[in-house]
Amino acid sequence: MNARRRRIARCWAGSIATLALAMVTIAFAAADDPEADRTRMIQFFEARFPDMPLEDYVYGAMISSPDARAQYEQIMEFPPFLNDLDAGRKIWEKPFANGRTFADCFPNGGHSVVGNYPYYDERAKQVVTFERALNRCLEDNGEAPMRYGEREPMGVLTAYARTLSDGMRMNIEVQSSEARAHYEAGRDLFFRRIGQLNAACAGCHMHLAGRIMRMEIISPALGHATHWPIFRAGEELMTFQGRFNRCMEQMRAVPYGYDSVEWNDLEYFLSYLSNGLPLQSSVFRK
């Protein structure tokens, strides 16, 4: 029998719960490269939101609510988190003890770079997120690294540093077989049912995208990677991986933690899916 049939048979041998998501995975497993995944994901959402321009997916849940979108545009005219961006700019510009600055660690002084993150570092054999690149910059210059996930200094620093890449298109590459393995680990995690509630990222952010969970519209996974950190209610700074943690808690699963291999792989996968979409930092979220 062909591979697909064998795969299904294996799933039946496993638990019914894993079968459910395995079915979704199968639809994607036939893909032979990340680009095919991305195309399928786009097709999936095109079928769901027929007239939605691809670029609008950066608005997340707001694609299903013109009211929320209008409110967003209004808030973004004078965002309540400008002070945080300013605090981030000061950190970005402050020279290290050796006189160099963050800008010296990146091409173009850090302008139009973030769309290349995460990337797979073949020598260090790890997925490098933009946050990790900032910490590498500190370490290379003899400075202490920042703690991941904290509002200051890491959070506000990324909030500012990412603005320098506003408008850049996401441009994630998956080239070597090792890079591919990390991408696929991220994909597996996205489709896997975990936790007490037996949910998967894909369950909500593909199949239930646009539906309402209690009072909140659920966003599509396409476009998830483009606009971090977010300021929830205009105030609470939340990083991309901080949002993974939050969703995992909602699924009653134990979050993997900031800069873990699992979260970096998941970020790598989700960022690839957003390829071609424009970056914007930072943004308001409900």
Residues sharing a CB contact under 8 Å with residue 225, sequence separation 6 or more, in sequence order: 170, 240, 267, 270, 271, 273, 274, 277
Which of other proteins, ligand HEC, none does 174 bind, CB closer than 5 to 8 A by kind?
none
Interface with ligand HEC, residue 279, by CB under 6 A: no
Residues sharing a CB contact under 8 Å with residue 140, sequence separation 6 or more, in sequence order: 105
Q: Which stretch, 49-57, 148-156, 164-172, 246-254, contacts ligand HEC (CB under 6 A)?
A: 246-254
What track of x and - describes contact with other proteins for positions 218 through 257 (by CB under 8 A)? ----------------------------------x-----
The tokens for 126 are 């790890």
What is the separation of C-alpha 114 from the centre of its chain, rounded to a whole number of angstroms?
12
Residues sharing a CB contact under 8 Å with residue 214, sequence separation 6 or more, in sequence order: none
Which of other proteins, ligand HEC, none does 260 bind, CB closer than 5 to 8 A by kind?
none
Residues 176-205 that bind other proteins (CB under 8 A): 196-199, 203
Report d(CA 58, CA 40) in Å as an integer: 18
Interface with ligand HEC, residue 8, by CB under 6 A: no
Neighbouring C-beta atoms of residue 25, cutoff 10 Å = 20
The tokens for 49 are 């939101």
247 catalytic? Reply is yes
Q: Which stretch, 5-13, 24-32, 178-186, 210-218, contacts ligand HEC (CB under 6 A)?
A: 210-218
- Largest Cα separation within the chain, whole Å, is 65
The residue from 9, 10, 14, 23 that contacts other proteins (CB under 8 A) is 23
**Positions that interact with ligand HEC (CB under 6 A):** 60-61, 199, 201, 203-205, 213, 216, 218-219, 224, 230, 243-244, 247-248, 250-251, 266, 285
Q: Which residues are catalytic?
A: 247
